[in-house]
Amino acid sequence: MEDSLLGTFFVLLCIPAVFAVPVWLIAFAFKLVSTALPGRRPDWRSDLLRWSAWMTGSGAVILYVLGAGAVALAVHESSSGADSTPSHDCRDDYRADHLVGQTASWLPLRFDCVLDDGGTYPSSPAYAWINTLVAVLGLASIALVVAKGYAAERRARASAGEGER
Protein backbone atom coordinates (compact mmCIF):
# COMPACT_ATOMS: atom_id res chain seq x y z
CA MET A 1 0.00 0.00 0.00
CA GLU A 2 2.74 2.44 0.98
CA ASP A 3 4.74 1.68 -2.19
CA SER A 4 1.63 2.14 -4.30
CA LEU A 5 0.87 5.49 -2.70
CA LEU A 6 4.44 6.67 -3.22
CA GLY A 7 4.31 5.51 -6.84
CA THR A 8 1.07 7.40 -7.42
CA PHE A 9 2.63 10.50 -5.89
CA PHE A 10 5.62 10.33 -8.26
CA VAL A 11 3.43 9.67 -11.29
CA LEU A 12 1.34 12.74 -10.42
CA LEU A 13 4.51 14.80 -9.94
CA CYS A 14 5.67 13.75 -13.41
CA ILE A 15 2.97 15.88 -15.03
CA PRO A 16 4.35 19.23 -13.81
CA ALA A 17 7.91 17.93 -14.24
CA VAL A 18 7.29 17.23 -17.93
CA PHE A 19 6.06 20.80 -18.36
CA ALA A 20 8.98 22.14 -16.29
CA VAL A 21 11.60 20.71 -18.66
CA PRO A 22 10.91 23.08 -21.59
CA VAL A 23 10.54 26.02 -19.18
CA TRP A 24 13.90 25.11 -17.66
CA LEU A 25 15.51 24.89 -21.12
CA ILE A 26 14.05 28.23 -22.24
CA ALA A 27 15.17 29.95 -19.02
CA PHE A 28 18.64 28.49 -19.49
CA ALA A 29 18.82 29.74 -23.09
CA PHE A 30 17.65 33.24 -22.15
CA LYS A 31 20.15 33.48 -19.28
CA LEU A 32 22.95 32.29 -21.52
CA VAL A 33 22.11 34.94 -24.12
CA SER A 34 21.68 37.69 -21.51
CA THR A 35 25.07 36.86 -20.02
CA ALA A 36 26.78 37.02 -23.41
CA LEU A 37 25.24 40.35 -24.44
CA PRO A 38 26.82 43.66 -23.47
CA GLY A 39 25.24 45.96 -20.86
CA ARG A 40 25.27 43.56 -17.91
CA ARG A 41 24.73 44.70 -14.34
CA PRO A 42 27.84 45.26 -12.20
CA ASP A 43 26.95 42.30 -9.96
CA TRP A 44 26.32 39.89 -12.83
CA ARG A 45 28.85 37.31 -11.59
CA SER A 46 27.14 36.94 -8.22
CA ASP A 47 23.75 36.83 -9.89
CA LEU A 48 24.98 34.16 -12.31
CA LEU A 49 26.31 31.99 -9.47
CA ARG A 50 23.02 32.22 -7.57
CA TRP A 51 20.98 31.57 -10.69
CA SER A 52 23.19 28.62 -11.71
CA ALA A 53 22.86 27.07 -8.25
CA TRP A 54 19.07 27.31 -8.47
CA MET A 55 18.99 25.93 -12.01
CA THR A 56 21.25 22.94 -11.30
CA GLY A 57 19.30 22.17 -8.14
CA SER A 58 15.96 22.40 -9.93
CA GLY A 59 17.36 20.32 -12.80
CA ALA A 60 18.34 17.60 -10.32
CA VAL A 61 14.87 17.64 -8.74
CA ILE A 62 13.09 17.57 -12.12
CA LEU A 63 15.25 14.70 -13.34
CA TYR A 64 14.75 12.73 -10.12
CA VAL A 65 10.98 13.17 -10.29
CA LEU A 66 10.91 12.01 -13.92
CA GLY A 67 13.04 8.98 -13.05
CA ALA A 68 10.89 8.17 -10.02
CA GLY A 69 7.83 8.43 -12.25
CA ALA A 70 9.42 5.91 -14.62
CA VAL A 71 10.05 3.53 -11.70
CA ALA A 72 6.46 4.02 -10.48
CA LEU A 73 5.11 3.32 -13.95
CA ALA A 74 7.22 0.15 -14.21
CA VAL A 75 5.96 -0.99 -10.79
CA HIS A 76 2.37 -0.27 -11.80
CA GLU A 77 2.70 -2.13 -15.11
CA SER A 78 4.29 -5.12 -13.39
CA SER A 79 1.48 -5.44 -10.85
CA SER A 80 -1.61 -4.77 -12.95
CA GLY A 81 -3.28 -7.30 -15.18
CA ALA A 82 -3.11 -10.97 -16.04
CA ASP A 83 0.12 -10.85 -18.06
CA SER A 84 2.00 -8.38 -15.91
CA THR A 85 4.40 -10.47 -13.81
CA PRO A 86 7.26 -10.71 -14.46
CA SER A 87 7.56 -7.24 -15.90
CA HIS A 88 7.64 -6.76 -19.65
CA ASP A 89 10.83 -4.73 -19.16
CA CYS A 90 12.46 -7.86 -17.77
CA ARG A 91 11.10 -10.34 -20.33
CA ASP A 92 12.96 -8.78 -23.23
CA ASP A 93 16.24 -10.22 -22.00
CA TYR A 94 17.74 -13.65 -22.80
CA ARG A 95 17.42 -14.53 -19.09
CA ALA A 96 13.61 -14.39 -19.25
CA ASP A 97 13.29 -18.14 -18.59
CA HIS A 98 14.82 -17.65 -15.13
CA LEU A 99 12.72 -14.67 -13.98
CA VAL A 100 10.81 -14.90 -10.74
CA GLY A 101 9.95 -11.26 -10.08
CA GLN A 102 11.17 -7.71 -9.85
CA THR A 103 12.19 -5.15 -7.24
CA ALA A 104 11.99 -1.37 -7.23
CA SER A 105 14.04 1.21 -5.37
CA TRP A 106 13.46 4.94 -4.98
CA LEU A 107 16.94 5.84 -3.76
CA PRO A 108 18.85 5.17 -5.93
CA LEU A 109 16.28 4.89 -8.67
CA ARG A 110 16.13 1.34 -10.01
CA PHE A 111 13.80 -1.33 -11.25
CA ASP A 112 15.59 -4.68 -11.16
CA CYS A 113 14.60 -8.08 -12.49
CA VAL A 114 15.00 -10.95 -10.00
CA LEU A 115 16.30 -14.32 -11.20
CA ASP A 116 15.54 -17.75 -9.73
CA ASP A 117 19.10 -18.02 -8.35
CA GLY A 118 18.58 -14.81 -6.32
CA GLY A 119 20.58 -12.57 -8.63
CA THR A 120 19.25 -9.38 -10.14
CA TYR A 121 19.90 -7.30 -13.22
CA PRO A 122 18.65 -3.83 -14.17
CA SER A 123 15.62 -3.66 -16.42
CA SER A 124 17.01 -0.59 -18.15
CA PRO A 125 20.40 1.16 -18.28
CA ALA A 126 18.54 4.50 -18.19
CA TYR A 127 18.26 4.38 -14.40
CA ALA A 128 22.05 4.40 -14.03
CA TRP A 129 22.25 7.49 -16.26
CA ILE A 130 19.45 9.23 -14.38
CA ASN A 131 21.06 8.52 -10.99
CA THR A 132 24.42 9.77 -12.25
CA LEU A 133 22.97 12.97 -13.69
CA VAL A 134 20.93 13.68 -10.55
CA ALA A 135 24.07 13.25 -8.42
CA VAL A 136 26.19 15.44 -10.72
CA LEU A 137 23.56 18.20 -10.84
CA GLY A 138 23.04 18.04 -7.08
CA LEU A 139 26.77 18.22 -6.34
CA ALA A 140 27.17 21.04 -8.87
CA SER A 141 24.41 22.96 -7.12
CA ILE A 142 26.13 22.54 -3.76
CA ALA A 143 29.48 23.58 -5.26
CA LEU A 144 27.89 26.70 -6.76
CA VAL A 145 26.36 27.66 -3.40
CA VAL A 146 29.78 27.26 -1.76
CA ALA A 147 31.41 29.30 -4.55
CA LYS A 148 28.83 32.06 -4.10
CA GLY A 149 29.52 32.16 -0.37
CA TYR A 150 33.26 32.24 -0.99
CA ALA A 151 32.88 35.08 -3.51
CA ALA A 152 30.72 37.07 -1.09
CA GLU A 153 33.28 36.56 1.67
CA ARG A 154 36.08 37.68 -0.64
CA ARG A 155 34.15 40.81 -1.62
CA ALA A 156 33.44 41.60 2.03
CA ARG A 157 37.11 41.23 2.97
CA ALA A 158 38.19 43.35 0.00
CA SER A 159 35.76 46.14 0.89
CA ALA A 160 36.83 45.98 4.57
CA GLY A 161 40.47 46.20 3.48
CA GLU A 162 39.71 49.28 1.40
CA GLY A 163 37.86 50.89 4.31
CA GLU A 164 40.92 50.63 6.57
CA ARG A 165 43.10 52.66 4.22
96-111 pLDDT tens trace: 778 888 888 888 999 8
Task: Using alpha carbons, list the distances in angstroms from residue 47 to 43, 59, 159.
Answer: 6, 18, 19
Angle at which helix 44-78 crosses helix 126-164, to 10 degrees, equals 160
Instruction: Please check the confidence at residue 131 and state whether its pLDDT lies above 90.
Output: yes
d(CA 51, CA 57): 10
More confident residue, 38 or 52: 52
With bands split at pLDDT 50, 70 and 90, how would you rate the model's confidence at 115? confident
Distance of alpha carbon 127 from alpha carbon 21, whole angstroms: 18
Q: Mean pLDDT of all residues in the chain?
A: 83
